[in-house]
């Protein structure tokens, strides 16, 4: 398991210096955002994370090391789990959009959000990255982004002490950007967590947690697809 000390320290520095920007609020799907004629919508997806265990609250180095050791069996099992059909999300969403009569371009590979420049524009629901170059690059009018950034199990801690049982979780964001205005026409943070229905501490296979993990994957997939089906 990677020790995410650097990321935690960076977050603290941002808060202390007042440089942390306010999070983007959800944006309901705009009317006819996906039904554009003529026009095309591109679909991209960032690289899926490897399933892992996360231990928020075990803030110091020794705390994290102790928590990691205490959950090592679960971590080893988590790394054997698959992501099921999450890699097919682009295709599932493309089918939904095509039913609205809109042409879809599925952009292959893992999309690198960090490669995009920051936007110079300001205003309500303006994307913080400048997506405008994708209009010419892919010959599309809008881009739909699937960004899953967390998957696996989460167990909260207070220093050395666990404050919860592990929960299966998936989190990320789905959004549509109009490439003419660089404005979100849909922005949906996804964050789903669920405990095992019964006992969870059953190494080495952890059947209770494993079952809820695959339930969470299906629930996460539906959270991206269903809002686009209306």
Model pLDDT for residues 164-186, shown as the tens digit of each residue: 999 999 999 999 999 999 999 99
Q: Do residues 157 and 57 make contact, with C-beta atoms less than 8 angstroms apart?
A: yes
Cα gap 180→33, rounded to integer Å: 13
Cα gap 122→119, rounded to integer Å: 8
pLDDT of residue 57 exceeding 60 = yes
Q: Do residues 75 and 52 make contact, with C-beta atoms less than 8 angstroms apart?
A: yes
pLDDT of residue 26 exceeding 60 = yes
Model pLDDT for residues 93-144, shown as the tens digit of each residue: 999 999 999 999 999 999 999 999 999 988 999 999 999 999 999 999 999 9
pLDDT of residue 230: 78
pLDDT of residue 18 exceeding 60 = no
Measure CA 67 to chain center. 24
pLDDT of residue 27: 96
Q: Decide: residue 225, CB within 10 A, 0-12 exposed, 13-18 middle, 19+ buried.
A: middle
pLDDT of residue 20: 54
Q: Is the dihedral of CA 115, 118, 123, 124 positive or negative?
A: positive
pLDDT of residue 6: 41
Could you count the other beta carbons within 10 Å of the beta carbon of residue 49? 15
CA angle 107, 98, 31 (to 5 degrees): 100
pLDDT of residue 9: 37
pLDDT of residue 45 exceeding 60 = yes
pLDDT of residue 73 exceeding 80 = yes
Query: Where is pLDDT greater, at 225 or 11?
Result: 225
pLDDT of residue 66 exceeding 80 = yes
> What is the helix (H) or strand (E) element at residue 79, kind and residue range?
none
Query: Where is pLDDT greater, at 59 or 74?
Result: 74
């Amino acid at each position: 398991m990677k020790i995410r000390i650097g990321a935690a320290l960076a977050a603290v520095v941002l808060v202390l210096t007042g440089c942390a920007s306010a999070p983007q609020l959800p944006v309901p799907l705009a009317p006819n955002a996906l039904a554009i004629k003529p026009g095309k919508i591109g679909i991209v997806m960032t690289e899926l994370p490897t399933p892992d265990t996360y231990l928020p609250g075990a803030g110091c180095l020794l705390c994290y090391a102790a928590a990691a050791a205490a959950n090592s069996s679960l971590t080893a099992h988590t790394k054997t789990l698959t992501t099921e059909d999450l890699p097919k999300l682009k295709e599932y969403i493309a089918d939904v959009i095509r039913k609205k009569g809109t042409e879809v371009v599925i952009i292959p590979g893992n999309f690198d959000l960090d490669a995009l420049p920051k936007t110079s524009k300001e205003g309500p629901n303006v994307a913080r990255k400048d997506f405008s170059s994708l209009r010419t690059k892919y010959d599309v009018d809008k881009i739909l982004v699937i960004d899953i950034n967390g998957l696996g199990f989460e167990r909260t801690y207070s220093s050395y002490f666990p404050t919860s049982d592990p929960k299966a979780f998936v989190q990320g964001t789905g959004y549509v950007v109009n490439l003419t205005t660089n404005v979100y026409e849909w922005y949906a943070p996804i964050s789903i967590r669920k405990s095992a229905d019964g006992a969870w501490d059953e190494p080495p296979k952890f059947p209770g947690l494993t079952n809820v993990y695959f339930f969470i994957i299906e629930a996460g997939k539906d959270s991206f697809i269903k809002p686009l089906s209306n």
